Structure 1
Amino acid sequence: MSALRRALTALAFSALLSGVAVVSTPPAPAQAAVARDGTSSNKAALSCWAIKQDFPASADGVYWLQTPKLVAPQQFYCDMTTDGGGWVLIGRGREGWTFYYPGQRTPGAIRNTPSGTGAFAPAALPGDTVNGLLNGGRVDALTDGVRLRRAANNTGTSWQEVRWKFSNLDSWSWTFDANPTHKLSSVSVNGTNYGAGNTRDWNYINGSHRIFTYEWNNHGWKKGFSYGSLMGGASTSATSYLWQNSTEGNPIPFTQVFIRPKLTSASYGTVPEAGLPASTVTPLVSNSTTALPWGVTGVVGGGVGEEHLEVQAMGTLGNTIYVGGRFQYVQKGANPGPGEKVQQQYLAAFDVSTGEWRTQFLPTLDGQVWDIQTLDDKVIIAGEFTNVNGEPNTAGMAALDPTTGAVVPGWRTTFTRAGGLPVKIKALDRQGDWIYVGGGFNHVSGGNPLSSPVWAVAAARVRVSDGRPDADWTPHFDATVIELDASSQGDRVYFGGRFSNVNGQSANSFAVISTATPAALVPGMNNWLPSTTAQNRDYRQTVLEVGDKVWMGGAEHDFQLYTRDNLTRLTGHITRGGGDLQASVEIDGVVYGACHCPEFVFNDATSWDNTANWSNAHQILWIGAWDAQTGKYLPNFVPSIDSRRGDGPWELIKDANGCLWFGGDMNRGSWNSATSSYQWLGGFGRLCATDSAAPTAPTNLRTTGTTGGTQLAWNAGTDNSGAPDYEILRDDRVIAKTSSATFTDSNPQGTHKYWVRAIDDAGNRSASTAALHVQSTTSLMNLGSQWKWVYDGVDQGTAWSGTTFDDSAWAAGNGEFGYGDGGETTLIPAGTTPRHWTAYFRTTLNVANPAAYESLLIDLIRDDGAVVYINGTEVGRDNLPEGTIAHDTAALVGLQTNAEERTPVRFTVPASALVAGTNTIAVEMHQNNQWSADLSFDMSIKATLP
């Protein structure tokens, strides 16, 4: 055997033993067109419309759809009948729609129960799925608009067809009840166009031609697609298609929501040979709160309004969270037992992991805490207290022992304010060796010994080491500072509040001040752009620098994104009803903004006075989420929380575990199915990170067979949330999803490339495997087939392999043939030593049309050497020398191991070697020596399909 031949043989052994298919990879022929009729995942179509166009007889039912934006095939219900068909059902139900962007109930409920009384409980597809069905297209570009199919009587035998065409909507939103509303360029009912309108309340005739979607007390605060008061036939019956809560006479009908994207072509892009990288979902925190046993309750001195809330400040140090505000009690649960409601005013500490109250931390304050800044070994608090624990020089600010709450010896800062007004220290932030301070004050002293008072109006900075103020950095604001953010880049501090001037220069509610002395405004900054022209209604309450961007928010009800370099506004968002943004924090590239705003946010809107020209409206429930760099609103974050009196969260912080803590007058968390009740919150709550880590990638993608299709197998990936599923990609698109580490692609035609990647329940995808090239085959002859054979030591010459040779005197049997191994089906007599050199085998193969095949894959089990012939012509040899093969030619090497003897050798032969009709297949098997203890032979033939 030549060195090259030996290397190739070794490579074949290694590859086959590792499970890698050794197949030819000629230039791929033209692929047979896939009949994308939506009947299976690998036949998924772009849209219901595309199926109807290509397969006009398609009936109403469930089909597989896939777009590049949808990524993987999914099943949907298609109406293939109404108005030419091609409608996809995206939601259905009677009363109780949430209109949440993340959807309602499950996609399976929608497609499997599209109608009937079992469909009365509303279900809606996630907005991301609807946008996937649109393939990123605009909602206002839908030529047929959004279709509402409303029941028109209480038995569901009469229906009303409505078409909404939107005037300006860039992507999907379920907030049909938004106020101001989604505008409609036209509304048609049963084919008659009635002009423009809106999705919140379209009222052409107050009866059958009215649609209002907002919640209403007479409906028991349930949302739906309600008729007007003149629509008869309503009932309180659970089976009525026209539901009313009592006798209000405004029925909410069972309604189906359809869209009809007319997608017929799209590009899926090209998957690289090396595969795709991992991808992860946006790392949002959960919409569900984690239970906390303890909280804070009551408001010292009573009172209402934004300055009379339980929680205004929070900070973490190690595994402790410190909570400050105006609360009166620390309380365990909604119904505390003896000793579980303890008076501990203004400041308390809790375990970050368990939420248990830290009973050793018991400082005594005489006024509200507005902000908390934790240092390495101390907790700095700020507020409007005159002292802490009765200690002198702790007015407005103090450093506390993190375990006991005792005032730290030697660390002092104290504030005064002219005119007898109370000191209010509202904001703290550390930058390097300084703590920056903002609020309402005129002078500050500090350090040990206590410094002389420094004249600094509403802002100052004090040393981290001892609280001593910087006498050279003394900005003068003409009114209160509410919030500040010291840049992580060390060069500036952002201030927001109710001021108009800084150092005698105009600065309307927002200022950027250099950290260099003397505290001057940073030059080159543009004026920020208020959302209102109302005087004194444009104050700033939150500011946050993230990278090269700056977020700010406040009144009126705005959250805006600016460039860091010169304060150029990039985008804005307006919340209604409710409003002002009052806290913000960044976690993993997402900015969370809190407000007293439990209704809607209007994206790309910049004016409260005239909230118009917005790109979309989504729900916001007290806290919203935005991409920190692009400013894009992230509507999948809709936390299930509530507020005692509607003031919402006034503090947001993150802990070391990536959880978002929020504090204010919060009194309700998420639904607890175990107790069939909502979680109790005492002023504050916690939303922890969702899974945004990709699974590990599967490896060793290989074929395990091709009979009846291509059988793929791979080594499993792993995931932090359990065993992942797998997406199978064929020729640049996903064709299936499976939970096992195997998959069979049934009878694909032609040459294909496959990749596999893991996907977890959250939608995080691993990197994929590299491409595996596989050509589809059909079996022409299996292992164990019948052969004629002879092993008698007689030289058969050369004619024996031809088509005219008479083998009628030869013995017959089925593979495997041989002796010495114990696994033979047909035992060949071994005889005595020295044994015969060569065994001869012949069979026939009938092929109707060789042109139907591209090539033949011959898998030969041999021990030791062999030559294969088709119709008298040699088509392959293994483990034999080059040149003429004689009857007594010895195999090059003796195969010793079971793996060598049992692993097939593959020959790839052009299908043109066959003729139409009967073909003669012949094999001669040669021993390495005449004292060999065994001999083996069997063979299969597959044909590749073009």
Structure 2
Amino acid sequence: MSEDPANYTPRVVSDGVVLRPHVTAIGQLGNTMYAGGRFHTIYDEQANQNRTRDNFVMFNADTGAVSSAAPSFTGEVWAVETFGNAVYVGGEFSTVGGVQRPRLVKLNADGTVNQAFDAHLRSGRVMDLHMYTGPTGPKLFVGGSAGTKLMALNPVTGANTGYVDLGIADKIPNSFGDVTVANFSISPDQSKLVAVGNFMTVAGQSRRRAFMADLPAAGSATLATWYYKPFEETCRSTRARRLAYLTDVDFAPTGEYFVVVATGFTWDFNDKNKTVCDAAARFETPKTPAYDAEDHPFRPTWLNYTGGDTIWSVAVTGAAVYVQGHFQYLDNTDGVSTNLDPDAVPRKGIGAIDPDTGLALSWNPVKPAQQGGKQLLATADGLWVASDSQRFNGEPRYGIAFAPLP
């Protein structure tokens, strides 16, 4: 990806209506981008003017021109998924364009509410969305604190198909919110799913913070054997929003491995290269159950530590593992804060990791952040970055940036 961002992307505006506006989700359908988060005003670079857009904006992927379509969301948007001619949007809202669609809505490509789809989610919030396209037919997988925490919905009606019913339960003590699946990823062959969150049990089995599910061609999803036991251990932060610490996961395009990223502050130094705290970790996708000599199943192929700052999101392209958060360094295995590992490399807010070695690549656009970005979207044309950052490689790109392929 280029370090020089596209010059045409719209950006959020700090207008005093929303404190610390940010973009948390982005998706693409054809040449239209759909971005959501928490904001009230968008600056249209092409028109050189501000436009009111409540928590959701549509714009041209090639020119950045903001669409006249302006579906208004009454709360924060956390997830966007596109499929066919539709856009699915999840979050903490209650109405969309005046239509009651709490927490999950299906939009037509033009931004109007699809009247046939209604998931009837009356509590909780939707955190992540992915379309399953396996042999049992398309299903919208929904993760969050709503309903059964991870559901497979009919993409036409919104009804729960029952394909996923894993009994996700038992919140990590003192962690933030209700039992939640924070993020998940489906393998490219649609046979497996990995999820992270603040749960402790799945299908009656101990699965603190993460689990893998098998997605069979017949029947329903089942809990897989895979689990990394050090996920049971805590990082050094005791803050409610850090106790669940695993923040995102993404499968490689080949499906051969996946990468998990984390917050949590630093690790116990006796557990270096074991606990995934403020780090990215590559795991090989298991073909058969296997355990190492220390009874830690499926040990990471590599770990890349920031030295005490959060990684919120990850996108694996095959050529690189892209990560973003509010970290200052990568390759900081023995470092904490400003006491750096000699091999640490500066990477402010965003960076790229070699998927084979686990070491930082040279890509370094510099993206200062307060909290850090919650989504990276890799496409055939480049990398879309949704965040709270105001600048990308020194250029004003508040909330939305696009790093094109060279």
TM-score normalised by the chain length of structure 1: 0.36
* 2:194 is equivalent to residue 494 of structure 1: yes
Q: Deviations over 1:371-399 (max 9, x none)?
A: 1000110111111111222324x211111
Cross-structure match for 1:562: 283
Cross-structure match for 2:378: 654
3-state DSSP class of the match of 2:114?
Answer: coil
By relative contact order (CA 8 Å, sep 6+), the higher-ranking structure is: 2
| Pairwise CA distance, 1:626 | 1.4
* 2:253 is equivalent to residue 527 of structure 1: no
Counterpart selection for 2:146 from 420, 441, 451: 441
Structure-1 separation of matches of 2:44 and 2:224: 48
Q: Deviations over 1:106-151 (max 9, x none)?
A: xxxxxxxxxxxxxxxxxxxxxxxxxxxxxxxxxxxxxxxxxxxxxx
Cross-structure match for 2:315: 585
Cross-structure match for 1:295: 11
3-state DSSP class of the match of 1:416?
Answer: coil
For the Cα contact (< 8 Å) 1:653–1:662, is it kept in 2?
yes
Counterpart selection for 1:642 from 357, 368, 377: 368
Counterpart selection for 1:469 from 151, 155, 160: 160
Amino acid at match of 1:522: A
3-state DSSP class of the match of 1:666?
Answer: coil
Amino acid at match of 1:602: D
Structure-2 separation of matches of 1:525 and 1:667: 38
| Pairwise CA distance, 1:349 | 0.9
For the Cα contact (< 8 Å) 1:312–1:650, is it kept in 2?
yes
Structure-1 separation of matches of 2:189 and 2:9: 39
For the Cα contact (< 8 Å) 1:434–1:464, is it kept in 2?
yes
| Pairwise CA distance, 1:332 | 3.1
3-state DSSP class of the match of 1:568?
Answer: coil
Amino acid at match of 2:67: R
Cross-structure match for 1:366: 74
| Pairwise CA distance, 1:343 | 1.6
1:104-503 alignment runs, 5 A limit: 285-292=1-8, 294-298=10-14, 302-303=18-19, 309-332=21-44, 340-359=49-68, 361-392=69-100, 394-403=101-110, 405-417=111-123, 423-432=124-133, 433-442=138-147, 457-478=148-169, 479-503=179-203
Structure-2 separation of matches of 1:544 and 1:299: 34
For the Cα contact (< 8 Å) 2:130–2:142, is it kept in 1?
yes
Cross-structure match for 1:537: 243
Structure-2 separation of matches of 1:550 and 1:521: 17
Gaps of 5+ in 2: 170-178, 265-277, 290-297
* 2:382 is equivalent to residue 682 of structure 1: no
Q: Deviations over 1:484-526 (max 9, x none)?
A: 1011122221111122222332111111122245543202434
Structure-1 separation of matches of 2:162 and 2:330: 44
Structure 1 635/523 Cα, relative in aligned 2: closer, same or farther at 3 Å? closer
| Pairwise CA distance, 1:472 | 4.7
| Pairwise CA distance, 1:342 | 1.9
3-state DSSP class of the match of 2:162?
Answer: coil
For the Cα contact (< 8 Å) 2:326–2:368, is it kept in 1?
no
Amino acid at match of 2:125: K
For the Cα contact (< 8 Å) 1:572–1:606, is it kept in 2?
no
Structure-2 separation of matches of 1:342 and 1:357: 8
Cross-structure match for 1:602: 331
Structure-1 separation of matches of 2:54 and 2:390: 18
Structure 1 651/318 Cα, relative in aligned 2: closer, same or farther at 3 Å? same
For the Cα contact (< 8 Å) 1:322–1:350, is it kept in 2?
yes
| Pairwise CA distance, 1:606 | 8.7
3-state DSSP class of the match of 1:483?
Answer: strand
| Pairwise CA distance, 1:647 | 1.8
For the Cα contact (< 8 Å) 1:288–1:640, is it kept in 2?
no
1:731-750 alignment runs, 5 A limit: none
For the Cα contact (< 8 Å) 1:298–1:310, is it kept in 2?
no
Percent of aligned positions with the same letter in both sequences? 19
Structure-1 separation of matches of 2:300 and 2:379: 30
For the Cα contact (< 8 Å) 1:649–1:663, is it kept in 2?
yes
For the Cα contact (< 8 Å) 1:299–1:326, is it kept in 2?
no
For the Cα contact (< 8 Å) 1:531–1:608, is it kept in 2?
no
Q: Deviations over 1:636-680 (max 9, x none)?
A: 11114333xx222221102331x111111121233xxxxxxx532
Structure 1 416/313 Cα, relative in aligned 2: closer, same or farther at 3 Å? same
Q: Deviations over 1:202-251 (max 9, x none)?
A: xxxxxxxxxxxxxxxxxxxxxxxxxxxxxxxxxxxxxxxxxxxxxxxxxx
3-state DSSP class of the match of 2:73?
Answer: coil
Structure 1 291/466 Cα, relative in aligned 2: closer, same or farther at 3 Å? same
| Pairwise CA distance, 1:344 | 1.0
Amino acid at match of 1:635: L
| Pairwise CA distance, 1:461 | 0.9
1:513-912 alignment runs, 5 A limit: 513-516=213-216, 517-529=219-231, 532=235, 537-546=243-252, 547-556=255-264, 557-565=278-286, 567-576=298-307, 579-597=309-327, 599-602=328-331, 605=333, 616-628=343-355, 630-643=356-369, 646-657=370-381, 659-670=382-393, 678-690=394-406
Q: Deviations over 1:156-189 (max 9, x none)?
A: xxxxxxxxxxxxxxxxxxxxxxxxxxxxxxxxxx
| Pairwise CA distance, 1:436 | 1.1
Q: Deviations over 1:606-636 (max 9, x none)?
A: 9979x99x783111121111123x1422331
Structure 1 406/570 Cα, relative in aligned 2: closer, same or farther at 3 Å? same
3-state DSSP class of the match of 2:116?
Answer: coil
| Pairwise CA distance, 1:300 | 8.3
* 2:202 is equivalent to residue 512 of structure 1: no
Amino acid at match of 1:342: R
Structure 1 533/641 Cα, relative in aligned 2: closer, same or farther at 3 Å? closer
Structure 1 506/533 Cα, relative in aligned 2: closer, same or farther at 3 Å? farther
3-state DSSP class of the match of 1:412?
Answer: coil
Number of residue pairs matched by the alignment: 361
Amino acid at match of 2:325: C
Structure-2 separation of matches of 1:636 and 1:594: 15
Q: Deviations over 1:352-384 (max 9, x none)?
A: 11111112x211211111010001101111111
Structure 1 634/526 Cα, relative in aligned 2: closer, same or farther at 3 Å? closer
Amino acid at match of 1:559: A
| Pairwise CA distance, 1:555 | 1.7
| Pairwise CA distance, 1:464 | 2.7
Structure-1 separation of matches of 2:386 and 2:361: 22
For the Cα contact (< 8 Å) 1:545–1:551, is it kept in 2?
yes
Structure 1 346/290 Cα, relative in aligned 2: closer, same or farther at 3 Å? same
3-state DSSP class of the match of 1:576?
Answer: coil
Q: Deviations over 1:804-863 (max 9, x none)?
A: xxxxxxxxxxxxxxxxxxxxxxxxxxxxxxxxxxxxxxxxxxxxxxxxxxxxxxxxxxxx
Cross-structure match for 1:447: none
Structure-1 separation of matches of 2:317 and 2:29: 17
